[in-house]
């Protein structure tokens, strides 16, 4: 009887995991004291499991009302598993033309996203490496709870 229950449990488990939608690969870095230090370069390693599939690379930031700037400026260096390198600077808007924060508000913090690259075809499986450098010209950028990168199938 225990073997039958175990077998039924395993079948249900496999069916449940097989029917779930693909979840995006995501790496999130929380900041101690809600501050991104100017020379703290963040490194993200995201596994790519399917080659020749279009992906969307999304950057997201979580901040509170202490974030003092209209945008979050950063530099991105992306290295694909096949050796391609892409470098680009971004200016992610945090506030609209006035002082209103953009993004979704969720219990004390805001989530803001920007697409770093859409329709990215990766020709080889392996690790997608992304480095982010804070370009705000101050030693500390306060009000940031953390930042992350999400790799989504398109």
pLDDT digits over 41-83, tens only?
999 999 999 999 899 999 999 999 999 999 999 999 999 999 9
The answer to the question of residue 96 being in a domain is: yes
Here the tokens at position 49 are 């499991």
DSSP conformation letters of 102-125:
PSEE-SS-EEEEEEEEEEEE--S-
Q: Are 154 and 96 in contact (CB under 8 A)?
A: no
Say how far apart CA 90 and CA 101 lie, in whole Å. 18
What's the domain range around 72? Answer: 24-153
Q: Is the pLDDT of residue 33 over 80?
A: yes
CATH number of the domain where residue 103 is located: 2.60.120
According to the model, what pLDDT value does residue 106 have?
Answer: 84
What's the number of domains the chain is made of?
Answer: 1
The answer to the question of residue 8 being in a domain is: no
């Amino acid at each position: 009887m225990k073997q039958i229950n175990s077998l039924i449990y395993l079948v249900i488990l496999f069916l449940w995991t097989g029917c779930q939608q693909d979840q995006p690969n995501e790496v999130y870095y929380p900041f101690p004291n809600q501050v991104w230090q100017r020379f703290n370069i963040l490194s993200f390693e995201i596994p790519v499991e399917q080659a020749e599939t279009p992906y969307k690379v999304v950057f997201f930031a979580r901040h509170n009302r202490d974030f003092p700037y209209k945008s979050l400026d950063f530099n991105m260096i992306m290295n694909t598993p096949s050796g391609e390198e892409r470098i680009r600077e971004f200016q992610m808007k945090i506030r609209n033309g006035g002082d209103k924060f953009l993004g979704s508000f969720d219990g004390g913090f805001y989530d803001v996203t920007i697409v770093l690259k859409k329709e990215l075809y990766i020709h080889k499986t392996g690790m997608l490496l992304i480095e982010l450098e804070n370009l705000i010209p101050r030693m500390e950028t306060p009000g940031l709870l953390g930042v992350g990168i999400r790799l989504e199938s398109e």
